[in-house]
Amino acid sequence: MAAMKIAVVGSGTAGCACASLLAKTYKSQTAAGASVPKVLLIEQGEVLGGQATSSNLDAEKYSASFLNDGV
């Protein structure tokens, strides 16, 4: 039987959690030898995270290695 394909649209906290949970749940429930479903995370933006993203900083210059983008 062909492996089931699941698409999750959006890589915010909800989408990342959903895709991760689906992949882990199906992986643990799939019997040995059966096809493991493929989970595809689709994001329209350039980075993952949605509203909860951060930018890298020069740690020596700013005494911190990242800055939250609003959250």
Ligand X SMILES: Cc1cc2nc3c(=O)[nH]c(=O)nc-3n(C[C@H](O)[C@H](O)[C@H](O)COP(=O)(O)OP(=O)(O)OC[C@H]3O[C@@H](n4cnc5c(N)ncnc54)[C@H](O)[C@@H]3O)c2cc1C
> Residue 2's Cα: distance from chain center in Å?
24
Residues binding ligand X: what is the number (CB under 6 A)?
16
43 binds ligand X (CB under 6 A): yes
Which residue, among 7, 1, 3, 17, has the nearest Cα to 52 in the 3D structure? 17
Q: How far apart (Å, rounded) are the C-alpha atoms in residues 54 and 49?
A: 9
Binding mask 3-32 for ligand X (x = CB under 6 A): ------xxxxxxx-----------------
Give the shortest CB-15-to-ligand X separation in angstroms: 5
Binding site for ligand X (CB under 6 A): 9-15, 42-45, 50-52, 70-71
